[in-house]
């Protein structure tokens, strides 16, 4: 095949990927501005679904709860995960390999099974269902992602820098704060974004662990579309996507996430 | 400033003995080179003095105080690393000022001392640059300034010049020596480059397999190596194979050569390449040893020339200034001669 054919094929491929990624989202966003409740065409612009959203206390509560849970999860998982990465980077200890290996199967275990197991466990220890259980569950799911991302960043860190700082009289905390953290900050930001996304998108585990009437946004949306789909769901989804894409773009701009620019 | 003593240091890593009962002292204000092949324990010794490693047995004293149990951040040492280890997220001035900030000297005092350190290493106006904007030699100077700005009791250098190309390395050697003299700090540096060790230091220690085989001023160690390893490691040496017979050495083919008159019992004898003279005719004179050989190769290296001659299956290296080296045909008969007193007499065959 000629170079031109390769190039054309490549462009078609790229176009297809972008189409399948973004077309459903764009359709949903468009429909959130359509006056018709039943997705009827021709398209008539309206903001009535957004206006009705403001009156839907149930959706607003769930959205607020989801954001709050995701922020807690991000803070806890990013802190614990980064600390674990640094510890594994700095020290050799017995069982380190085993620990590193054990961190990753949870990513591959189906969430349905993880969720069931957590539910049984939390009832067993007397915690039961509710927001604390959801947060703990999400943290457990998010930590491996944080460790993977932060460890990848640490692999580019020269450990001699820590030695140089110690030789200059810096204690362990100063070394971490002034030398190690500035270098791995982009990795920590990326890890935090992953943790936020894992929690905010989480449906299965949240569904098992949240109490009725106290559900997160994905659980509420699922329950709502079982009763009957309303364009209000499109409206809240469009708001969420706009917000999260803005955050991601800003983070990508500052953390060089996804390669140098 | 302080002198450093290490006594009976032993350090093992698993089954590997990196330091084996090492005792050494490093006088106040001296420039000491630790020289040895890789795996000889020189870096382990430096890192133990720095406080990155703790010995299994033995003691480290700095300025008379035992510091064996003190970690590096409390030892008040300056350290320079092979790869410079400059903090990439800080400017040159912040790199140099790091140790001062840790010690909370205050902003004005920090600025003054960083400025003075920049002057000392001749980088006056580069304080606002980032490390990645500097050349190799400039990074080197920043690393040195950072190591000495806190006035540490001892300066430790871990192969500090090995990442530089040759011309720059020689410049930095001169610079390092100047700065060390100017501030008079006790300096210990590790190198595997014997020429660098001899150029810079006023004392060297040769390490092999975790032991110090010899130490002393470079000229003494070079002229009177105590074993064959040192003779071959510090400079080159042509081993003379044979057995001693009173004042003479009988080579394996029966040739008798004269030995210098020195007290002691010697087990091996060798001649430095630069002590040998190459000639077409046999030189004569009192105290001159001469043996016949076949010239195999002549290697031109600018100012210096090296010749390889062969005798009874053994090859001899001869080094002289190129203009002093006679132009003799390869594979022709030549004479190798040397002054009896320049023979190296080695007490331990090792």
ipTM here:
0.82
pLDDT band at B228 (very low <50, low <70, confident <90, very high): confident
What is the rounded distance in angstroms from the CA atom of residue B249 to the CA atom of residue B266?
11
**pLDDT exceeds 70 at position B150:** yes
Q: Are the C-beta atoms of residues A73 and A65 closer than 8 Å to each other?
A: no
Find out whether B197 and B35 touch, Cβ atoms under 8 Å.
yes
User: Secondary structure of chain A in the HEC alphabet?
Assistant: CCHHHHHHHHHHHHHHHHHHHHHHHHHHHHHHCECCCCCCCCCCECCHHHHHHHHCHHHHHHHHHHHHHHHHHHHHHHHHHHHHHHHHHHCCCCCHHHHHHHCCHHHHCCHHHHHHHHHHHHHHCCCCCCHHHHHHHHHHHHHHHHHHHHHHHHCCCCCHHHHHHHHCCCCHHHHHHHHHHHHHHHHHHHHHHHHHHHHHHCCHHHHHHCCCCCCCHHHHHHHHHHHCCCHHHHHHHHHHHHHHHHHHHHHHHHHCCCCCC
Q: Is the sign of the CA dihedral B68, B72, B78, B82 positive or negative? A: positive
For domain A57-229, give the fold. MetI-like fold (1.10.3720)
Look at A43-52, A249-258, B69-78 and tell me which has the smallest mean pLDDT. Answer: A249-258
Q: Are the beta carbons of B60 and B48 closer than 8 angstroms?
A: yes
Percent of chain B exceeding pLDDT 70 equals 99
- Which range has highest mean pLDDT (A75-89, A199-213, B116-130)? A75-89
Q: Which two tokens stand for residue A175?
A: 């070394």
| Contact yes or no for A200/A67 (Cβ under 8 A) | yes
What is the mean pLDDT of the segment spanning A25-51? 78
Q: Is the pLDDT of residue B157 over 90?
A: yes
Query: What is the C-alpha to C-alpha distance for residues B207 and B19, in angstroms, rounded to an integer?
Result: 9
Nearest residue to B253 via CA among B310, B173, B203: B310
Question: Domain map of chain A by residue range?
Answer: 57-229
Give the confidence band of B52 by pLDDT, cuts at 50, 70, 90.
very high
Q: Span A196-201, mean pLDDT?
A: 86
Residue B117's CB is within 10 A of a number of other CB atoms, namely 24
At A97-113, the pLDDT tens digits run 888 888 877 778 888 89
Best residue of A157, A167, A178 to probe chain B, by most B CBs closer than 10 Å: A167
CB contact under 8 A, A164 and B71: no
SS3 at position B324? helix
pLDDT category at A261 given cuts 50, 70, 90 is very low
| First-to-final CA distance of chain B | 37
pTM: predicted TM-score of the whole model, two decimal places? 0.79
- Mean per-residue pLDDT over chain B, rounded: 89
Q: Among candidates B190, B136, B188, which has minimal Cα distance to B167?
A: B136
Give A158→chain B minimum CA distance, Å.
8
Rounded CA-CA distance A191/B195 in Å is 50
Please report which confidence band the pLDDT of residue B349 belongs to, taking 50, 70 and 90 as the band edges: low
Q: Quickly state the pLDDT bin for A91 (edges 50, 70, 90).
A: confident
Q: Using one digit for the tens of pLDDT, what is the confidence trace for B165-208?
A: 888 888 888 888 888 988 899 999 998 888 888 888 999 999 99
- Give the confidence band of B324 by pLDDT, cuts at 50, 70, 90: confident
Nearest-CA neighbor of B89 among B140, B136, B123, B131?
Answer: B131
Phi, psi (deg, nearest 5) at residue B286: -65, 135
Confidence of residue B163 (pLDDT cuts 50, 70, 90): confident
Confidence of residue A154 (pLDDT cuts 50, 70, 90): very high
- Give CA–CA dist A119/A133, Å, rounded: 9
Asked if A168's CB is within 8 angstroms of B102's CB, the reply is yes
Residue whose structure tokens are 């944080």: A146
Tell me the C-alpha to C-alpha distance, in Å, between residue A201 and each of A28, A31, B46.
Answer: 17, 22, 53
DSSP B124: T
Instruction: Indicate yes or no: CB of B150 within 8 angstroms of CB of A168.
Output: yes
CA-nearest of A175, A183, A164, A162 to B139 is A164
Is B318:B309 a contact under the CB 8 Å cutoff?
yes
Q: Which stretch of A87-96, B9-18, B47-56, B245-254 has the lowest confidence by average pLDDT?
A: B245-254
* Structure token digits, residue B222: 């070079």
- Tell me the mean pLDDT in the region A220-225: 83
The partner residue sitting opposite B85, judged by closest CB among A161, A174, A183, is A161
Gap from B78 CA to chain A (nearest CA, Å): 7
Looking at the predicted structure, is the pLDDT value of residue A255 above 80?
A: no
Out of A2-6, A226-230, B111-115, B228-232, the most confident range is B111-115
CA–CA min distance A157, chain B (Å)? 10
Residue B12 pairs with which residues in a beta bridge? B17
Contact between B19 and B42 under an 8 Å Cβ cutoff? The reply is no
Phi and psi torsions of A175, nearest 5°: -60, -45
Q: Do B83 and A158 touch (CB under 8 A)?
A: yes
- The DSSP bridge partners found for residue A152 are none
At B33 the three-state DSSP class reads strand
Q: Do B87 and A161 touch (CB under 8 A)?
A: yes
CB contact under 8 A, A165 and B103: no
Q: From the CA of A177, how many Å to the nearest CA of chain B?
A: 12
Taking residues B152-156, what's their average pLDDT?
A: 93
- Rounded to whole angstroms, the Cα distance separating B165 from B142 reads 17
Q: Report the pLDDT value the prediction gives residue A58, as an integer from 0 to 100.
A: 82
Looking at residue A259, its pLDDT comes to 46
A24-28, long-range: CB within 8 Å, 24+ apart, which pairs?
A25/A241, A28/A234, A28/A237, A28/A238
């Amino acid at each position: 095949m000629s170079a031109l054919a390769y190039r054309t094929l490549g462009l078609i491929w790229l176009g297809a990927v972008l189409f399948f990624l973004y077309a459903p989202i764009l359709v949903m966003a468009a429909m959130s501005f359509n006056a018709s409740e039943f997705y009827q065409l021709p398209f008539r612009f309206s903001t009535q679904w957004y206006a009705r959203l403001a009156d839907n206390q149930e959706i607003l509560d769930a959205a607020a709860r989801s954001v709050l849970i995701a922020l807690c999860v991000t803070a806890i998982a990013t802190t614990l995960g980064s600390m674990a990465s640094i510890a594994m980077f700095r020290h050799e200890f017995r069982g380190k390999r085993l620990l590193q290996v054990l961190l990753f199967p949870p990513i591959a275990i189906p969430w349905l099974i993880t969720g069931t197991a957590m539910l049984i466990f939390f009832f067993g220890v007397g915690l039961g269902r509710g927001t604390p259980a959801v947060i703990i569950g999400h943290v457990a799911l998010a930590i491996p992602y944080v460790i993977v991302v932060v460890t990848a960043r640490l692999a580019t860190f020269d450990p001699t820098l820590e030695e140089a700082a110690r030789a200059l009289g810096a204690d362990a905390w100063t070394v971490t704060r002034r030398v190690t953290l500035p270098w791995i900050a982009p990795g920590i930001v990326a890890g935090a974004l992953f943790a936020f996304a894992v929690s905010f998108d989480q449906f299965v585990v949240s569904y098992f662990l949240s109490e009725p009437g106290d559900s997160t946004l994905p659980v509420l949306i699922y329950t709502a579309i079982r009763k009957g789909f309303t364009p209000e769901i499109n409206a809240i989804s469009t708001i969420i996507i706009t917000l999260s894409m803005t955050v991601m773009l800003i983070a990508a701009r500052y953390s060089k996430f996804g390669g140098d620019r | 400033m302080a002198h450093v003593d290490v006594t009976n240091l032993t350090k093992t890593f698993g089954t590997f003995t990196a330091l084996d009962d090492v005792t050494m002292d490093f006088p106040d204000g001296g420039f000491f080179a630790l020289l040895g092949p890789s795996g000889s324990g020189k870096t382990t010794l430096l890192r133990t003095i720095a406080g990155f490693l703790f010995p299994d047995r033995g003691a480290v004293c700095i300025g008379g105080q035992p510091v064996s149990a003190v970690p590096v951040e409390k030892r008040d040492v300056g350290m320079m690393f092979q790869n410079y280890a400059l903090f990439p997220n800080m400017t040159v001035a912040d790199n140099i000022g790091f140790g001062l900030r840790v010690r909370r000297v205050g902003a004005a005092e920090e600025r003054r001392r960083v400025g003075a350190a920049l002057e000392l290493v001749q980088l006056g106006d580069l304080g606002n640059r980032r490390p990645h904007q500097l050349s190799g030699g400039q990074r080197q100077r920043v690393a040195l300034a950072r190591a000495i700005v806190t006035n540490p009791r001892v300066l430790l250098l871990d192969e500090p010049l090995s990442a530089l190309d040759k011309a720059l390395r020689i410049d930095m050697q001169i610079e390092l020596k100047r700065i060390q003299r100017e501030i008079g700090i006790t300096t210990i540096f590790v190198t595997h480059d014997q020429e660098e060790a001899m150029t810079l230091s006023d004392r060297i220690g040769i390490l092999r397999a975790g032991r110090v085989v010899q130490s002393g001023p470079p000229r003494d160690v070079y002229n009177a190596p105590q074993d064959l390893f040192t003779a071959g490691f510090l400079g080159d040496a042509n081993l003379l194979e044979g057995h001693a017979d009173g004042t003479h050495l009988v080579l394996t083919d029966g040739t008798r050569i004269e030995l210098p008159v020195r007290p002691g019992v010697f087990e091996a004898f060798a001649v430095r390449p630069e002590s040998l003279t190459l000639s077409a005719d046999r030189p004569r004179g009192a105290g001159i040893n001469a043996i016949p050989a076949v010239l195999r190769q002549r290697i031109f290296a600018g100012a210096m020339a090296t010749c390889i001659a062969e005798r009874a299956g053994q090859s001899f290296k001869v080094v002289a200034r190129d203009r002093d080296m006679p132009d003799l045909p390869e594979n022709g008969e030549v004479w190798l001669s040397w002054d009896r007193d320049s023979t190296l007499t080695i007490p331990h065959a090792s």
